[in-house]
Structures are given as C-alpha cells and as structure tokens.
Structure 1
Amino acid sequence: MSEMSAMDRKIIQNLAETLSRQVKHFNRTEAECLIRLFNGRFGDQNDRKTGHGLDRGKFRNILHNTFGMTDDMIMDRVFRAFDKDNDSYISVKEWIEGLAVFLRGTLDEKIKYSFNVYDLNGDGYISREEMFHMLKDSLIRQPTEEDPDEGVKDLVEIALKKMDHDHDGRLSYTDFETAVREENLLLEAFGPCLPDAKRICAFEQQAFQNPPEH
C-alpha cells in the first residue's frame, strides 16, 4: 500500500468518526462505507481535485438508477434538499446527512424533508399552484380526457380538503405535519421523494456489505 493511500485511509477514518458523531442513524463503519462510495463509485479524479462533490447530473443519475426516481421536478427538489449550502454540489457531509434521512429518517425527519421538497418556492407553504405543478407531472394522462388539467385541479382540492386544517387554501408545515401524523401515506402525497423499502435494502446491502478493515 502506498503512503498516499494509507494517508487517505486515515483521513477517511477521521472524517467517518466525525460525521458519525454529527449525523444520527449511521455508525462510524457505515459512515466510512458511504464516504468510500461517494469518493469511489460516484466521484472521479476531477471532482477530487476541485473538491466540489456531486453535481446535479451525477446526483440525478443516483436517484434514478439506484433509487428508482423518474420525476424531473421531484429529483431537482431532492437535490436541493441535500444541497443545504446551495452551492450546486453535494459535499460528502451533505451526502451523509441527506442519506441519514433518506434511508433511515424518523417520521419527524421525513415530514420536514418532504415538506421542503414540496415547498417549491421556499416560502413555508405548499400552495395550490405548487400542488398543481407536482401532481400534473406525476399523473398519467388519459387520451380521452377533454381537459386533463381539470382532473389535476380536482386532486388538488381533494388534497386541500384532507390536509388544510386551518382552511386558508394552502398547506403550512403544521397542516402537513398534522395530516401525515393522522395518515402516514400522505407523506409523499405530491410525488415520490423517498425511496421504497426494497430499494433502501438493496442500497444498504451494497454499500455496507464490505466494511473497511481497521
């Protein structure tokens, strides 16, 4: 083993130690596996020189190929939810923090995450317009429909009726949280923004099957 890779290993171990203390849900070995995955399979030499991390395109590929996501708008919002500092790259810390919620988040954490994904303009509310945009993307069009948008509008009204507890025509965080606690299936009411259990299991098996030796 060259000096460089021994040094790299030490750096990765230290980083894993730090991140596993800061981020809930992953122990040190798991954090180290995720750092290796980030550097290895998803990164390349250029990324490491620039030190940026995963760009939107690479991250979308992961969401699509690994987690089965297909909706462009939702994938873009998931990228923004992971990219906490808005620098258009996902750093290794953002990767591990994001995956902690994505793979193993508590209901509380998942509610916060989904709300952020669906609040397209970041104003703290999910408006009728935002619901319309997201649902319009996720619905399969019936060729026989006169005006397919009418069906989407009906769905928005149904969602509001079920979730808008203070009846102000939009969903606040409290509305969303209350509705999801009453009916967990509403967590992804406006589009699939979390991976299903089968994909989580496959990803974890692949990521954690060869833990690094210490």
Structure 2
Amino acid sequence: MSLDLTLDASEEARFLNKISRFVKRLVKKTHFTQRELEVCLLIYYKMLRDDEGKLGMLVSRHQVDAVFDASFGITDSATVGRIFTALDKSVTTHVSMETWARMLSLFLRGSLDEKISHCFQVYDISGEGLIRREHMMVLLKGCFIKQHEEDAEEDIKDLTELIIRRMDADRDGAISLDDFREAVHNAPEMLECFGQALPDRAHVYAFSRTFLDRVSKF
C-alpha cells in the first residue's frame, strides 16, 4: 500500500528501502510509530525532490522556513532562527532528515519536559545556560504590538521584573533551566512566556491530521 499517492509506488518503495535501517534507529528517538516516521520522512523526501532536481542533497533551511510559515504559522524570521538553533546547534543552511524528524516529533508529540527544554534553549540567546534580564527584554520586545517607544520600554521592564519574581527561584537575577522547569510545572501557561517557540495547537492539529495515526485536537 502506497503511503503517498503523489509519488510513484516504485520510487516510494526504493526510498523506504534505502532508509529502512535509519528508520529503525530513529523510531527509538521519536514519538512516532514506524509508519508515521516513514510518512514524516517521505515529506522530507518530497521537499528534496521538488528542489529543482537537487536530489541526494539536504533540504535547505529556506524550504523548511516555508513549512514554518505555511504549516506552523511561525513567520518571524528571528523566532524561526532561534528555534532552529535550539534544534540543531551546528551552523548550517540545511536541515538533515534526523533534525526534521526530531523537530516534528517535538512539535506534534513532545512531552512537557521536552518542550520546556526546547523553549529554554530558544530563549537562551547567549547559549550560557541562563536567561538574563537583558535577554528577556530583547525577547519580550518582539511580543509587543508597536506603540510609543518610551511606553513600550516601560511595559517591557515591568513585565521582565514580574517574570523574574515569578521564575527566578534562587534570586540570582537570571533564570536557569531548573528555575524555568519548576515555574512551568507549577504554571504551564508560562511555557512560552518570552515569545513563540512552538507552533500553536490549531496548527499542530491541522498538520498532524495529514499523517499521524493518533491525533489529539487539544
């Protein structure tokens, strides 16, 4: 039975045979069944196939950026950049099959702890394992609707102090992963307190329906 009716059955079979060992290894690192993972990688293959005949190379960041925009509703380039850095620390203009699969696993089926770790890495601008006050202000600035600059600065400062009081358990003026994890477990609505780091639930549901066996609406 063909998993993707837009591909020739023999081409699909060749691709799945080629990645069979990879799928068996990767299924242990994701929340997908083998069939779901195969469909996930077929989506990757189709992006590769449609990229002006550049078959055999990696999918470009530009192509995946389009997925973020069209399928996940994440359009801000700075946000997308921080999300990619959290997903793949290597400096590259391409996305591997494994990074693609891990990304979809996180977005569509990730546990709360996985999402906490991901969001923290997105917000950890300096990569030092701490979200400092100045980083919070940069992140929060992107969350505010444009208004008078002076008013916005005051609002951002006030919100920063509010979040620090709520999340900085050891009162050292910065938020560690432990601080962040404890705060989110106590109040899950704080998960994306510094801006979008994950697709919203409506986009996750819509994308999941295209290939997952088990889909939870909310």
Normalised by the shorter chain, which TM-score bucket?
A: 0.7 to 0.9
**% identical aligned pairs:** 34
Take 1:127 and 1:179, find their aligned partners in 2: how far apart are those partners?
A: 16
Return 5+ residue gaps in structure 2 as ranges.
Answer: 1-7, 214-218
Q: Which of 118, 125, 132 is residue 127 of structure 1 equivalent to? A: 132
Provide structure 1 residue ranges, at least 5 long, that are not aligned to the other structure.
Answer: 210-214
Residue 152 in structure 1 maps to residue 156 in structure 2: yes
- Correspondence 1:22-61 to 2 at 5 A: 23-41=29-47, 44-49=51-56, 51-55=57-61, 57-61=62-66
Question: C-alpha separation between the residues in 2 aligned to 1:176 and 1:2?
Answer: 47
Per the alignment, residue 17 of structure 1 pairs with 24
Give the drift of 1:31.
0.5
TM-score (structure 1 length as normaliser): 0.86
Report the CA distance between 1:41 and its aligned residue: 3.7
1:138 maps to which residue? 143
Structure 2 distance, partners of 1:39, 1:139, is 38
CA distance in 1, matches of 2:157, 2:74: 24
The residue type equivalent to 1:127 in the other structure is R
Q: Cα RMSD over matched residues?
A: 2.2
Partner of 1:177: 181
State how 1:83-122 maps to structure 2 within 5 Å.
Answer: 83-122=88-127
Q: 1:91 to 1:5 in 2, by over 3 A?
A: same
Give the TM-score taking structure 2 as reference length: 0.85
The alpha-carbon deviation at position 182 of structure 1 amounts to 0.6
Aligned residue pairs, count: 205
Question: Are 1:194 and 2:201 an aligned pair?
Answer: no
> Per the alignment, do residues 178 and 6 of structure 1 end up closer, same or farther by CA in structure 2, a change over 3 Å counting?
closer
- Deviation per CA, 1:132-160: give whole Å up to 9, x if none: 111101111234x6442111111111110
Runs of 4+ in structure 1 displaced over 4 angstroms? 1-6
